[in-house]
């Protein structure tokens, strides 16, 4: 099955700085890569996603890049704010075509 | 309506109890999932239903029994659980047609087994 590796496990940045989280995947047939944000005690919520036919996608302060050849994708958050503090999970679609395989998560702390 | 609704929000049960978790969505999604999440860990896939049929069972112990009565409802029946089964149980749903798509998560049921 699909194996998703995520780094770093923790990340601390100052407000206004950028944050980058990286993931690699093993299954070259994976074609959908979402990023979820989970605040303490709450459900995971999709913040951005990318499909394998696209190299980069942006939504305001958030961007995701995908390198299919190297099988890695990254989340970029610019101008971080304290409310960006949360656990971020990358994921890739497994061979089943719609069940997510998650990375281990990155705990992001943005300090004022 | 883009909500996945789970009940109850919290559940405390003894090891000899039988209880059920419920999940409902009205987005017309034909794939529904149960995930288990322990503290500081990612969600771990348990079961996948596609068109009301069980398509994936990730080697989950038989004390967890899923049921999909119709395209909007998903249940997880619990019996003879162990304390290590205490976790957040998340239901999710997604489209099936047209390729992989966003999975919408419910707010979860916080289960404590005593």
- Dump pLDDT digits (tens) for B77-111: 999 999 999 999 999 999 887 677 889 999 999 99
A97/B90 CB distance under 8 A: no
Chain A residues in contact with B90 (beta carbon < 8 A): 43-44
A93/B48 CB distance under 8 A: no
B42/A31 CB distance under 8 A: no
SS3 B85: helix
Sign, CA torsion B41/A95/B59/A46 = positive
| Alpha-carbon gap, residue A67 to B92, rounded angstroms | 28
- DSSP state letter for B43: -
A98/B96 CB distance under 8 A: yes
To the nearest whole angstrom, how far is the Cα of B82 from the nearest Cα of chain A?
Answer: 22
Residue of A nearest to B49 (CA): A99
Q: What is the mean pLDDT of residues B65-83?
A: 97
pLDDT band at A94 (very low <50, low <70, confident <90, very high): low
Lookup: tokens for A14: 């100052």
Q: What is the mean pLDDT of residues B56-66?
A: 92
| Alpha-carbon gap, residue B112 to B14, rounded angstroms | 9
To the nearest whole angstrom, how far is the Cα of B18 from the nearest Cα of chain A?
Answer: 25
B100/A89 CB distance under 8 A: no
pLDDT band at B15 (very low <50, low <70, confident <90, very high): very high
Overall size of chain B counted in residues:
114
């Amino acid at each position: 099955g699909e194996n998703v590796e995520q780094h770093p496990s923790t990340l601390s940045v100052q407000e206004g700085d950028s944050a980058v989280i990286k993931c690699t995947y093993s299954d070259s047939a994976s074609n959908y890569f979402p990023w979820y944000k989970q605040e303490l005690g709450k459900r995971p919520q999709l913040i951005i996603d990318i499909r394998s036919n696209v190299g980069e996608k942006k939504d305001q302060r958030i961007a995701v890049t995908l390198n299919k050849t190297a099988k890695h994708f990254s989340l970029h958050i610019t101008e971080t704010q304290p409310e960006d503090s949360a656990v971020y999970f990358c994921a890739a679609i497994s061979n089943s075509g719609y069940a997510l395989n998650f990375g281990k998560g990155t705990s992001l702390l943005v300090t004022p | 309506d883009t909500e996945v609704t789970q009940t109850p929000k919290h559940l405390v049960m003894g090891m000899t109890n039988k209880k059920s978790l419920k999940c409902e969505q009205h987005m017309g999604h034909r794939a529904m999932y149960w995930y288990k999440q322990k503290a500081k860990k990612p969600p771990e896939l348990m079961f996948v239903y596609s068109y009301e049929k069980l398509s994936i069972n990730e080697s989950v112990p038989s004390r967890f029994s899923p049921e999909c009565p119709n395209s909007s409802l998903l249940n997880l029946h619990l019996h003879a659980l162990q304390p290590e089964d205490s976790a957040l149980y998340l239901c999710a749903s997604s489209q099936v047609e047209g390729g992989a798509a966003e999975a919408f998560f419910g707010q979860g049921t916080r289960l404590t087994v005593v």
